[in-house]
Structure 1
Amino acid sequence: MHKAIKYALSHKTELSRFVDDGALALDNNRCERAIRQVVMGRNTWLFAGSLQAGHRAAAIMSLLETAKLNGLEPYGWLKSVLERLPSLPEEWLHELLPFTKNPLNN
């Protein structure tokens, strides 16, 4: 108990940051939910095939979570991106990102 109290007192500024900014959450549940699938599949990712394949899987999972956070249906968004990708000029690729608010993401 002493150790916990000492920790809280030594991190008082960080632990009370939410008081200064009402937009900050009191917990990290949103973050925990976002990474749950990755954590649950951790042993599966060992067999991704290669380090590069693991990096690609992580990038796709990151994009899917970003789509979710931006109110898009993640797999519908990904399907739409993959269908449009071959015919889209390179300078328009940024328009397909899930946080870009434009007609290409609808």
Structure 2
Amino acid sequence: PVSEPVDYMLKRWDGFTSFLEDGRICLTNNAAERALRGFALGRKSWLFAGSDRGAERAAFMATLIMSAKLNDIDPQVWLADVLTSIADTPISRLEQLLPWNWKPKTLGAQAA
């Protein structure tokens, strides 16, 4: 029984030791699990979206909010700015409103 876990580890040795060569690699997946916890806690709430279309809209909004967070942007500040400026933005410049391209209008507007 002891040889099975040892054999498993030896077959994947490069993956197990990769964090030793690259300091960006985390030894555990705790950070990833913490990042997903908030979304996982809302899972049962998705059952009450009201319709398939409502669930699609909720998933769309969750994706935008998480994208803002991943880009170190306060989702509330970003969304408020986008909602107030989207009507005046030409279609050719809509991509500037995406979280990874967005720039706050004033320097103090973004609270990360």
TM range (shorter): 0.7 to 0.9
| Aligned mates of 1:90, 1:24 — CA distance in 2 | 39
Q: Please state whether the residue corresponding to 2:56 is helix, strand or coil.
A: helix
How far has the Cα of 1:60 moved from its partner? 1.8
Task: Output the aligned Cα RMSD.
Answer: 2.3
| Aligned mates of 1:54, 1:14 — CA distance in 2 | 38
How far has the Cα of 1:89 moved from its partner? 0.9
* CA spacing shift, 1:46–1:21, aligned 2, 3 Å: same
Q: Would the aligned equivalents of 1:67 and 1:74 in 2 still touch at CA under 8 Å?
A: yes
Task: Among all aligned residue pairs of Structure 1 and Structure 2, give the percentage whose two residues are the same amino acid.
Answer: 37
Q: Would the aligned equivalents of 2:82 and 2:97 in 1 still touch at CA under 8 Å?
A: yes
How far has the Cα of 1:18 moved from its partner? 1.9
How far has the Cα of 1:101 moved from its partner? 5.2
How far has the Cα of 1:86 moved from its partner? 1.6
Stretches (4+) displaced over 6 A:
none
* CA spacing shift, 1:56–1:16, aligned 2, 3 Å: farther
Q: Counterpart in 2 of 1:50? A: 51
* 1:26-105 equivalent positions in 2, closer than 5 A: 26-100=27-101, 102-103=103-104
More RCO (CA 8 Å, sep 6+)? 2
**Superposition TM-score, scaled by structure 1 size:** 0.79
Ranges in structure 2 where 5+ consecutive residues have no aligned partner: none
Alignment-mate amino acid for residue 28 of structure 1: N
Is 1:15–2:23 an aligned residue pair?
no
Ranges in structure 1 where 5+ consecutive residues have no aligned partner: none
Structure with higher Rg: it is 2
| Aligned mates of 1:56, 1:9 — CA distance in 2 | 46
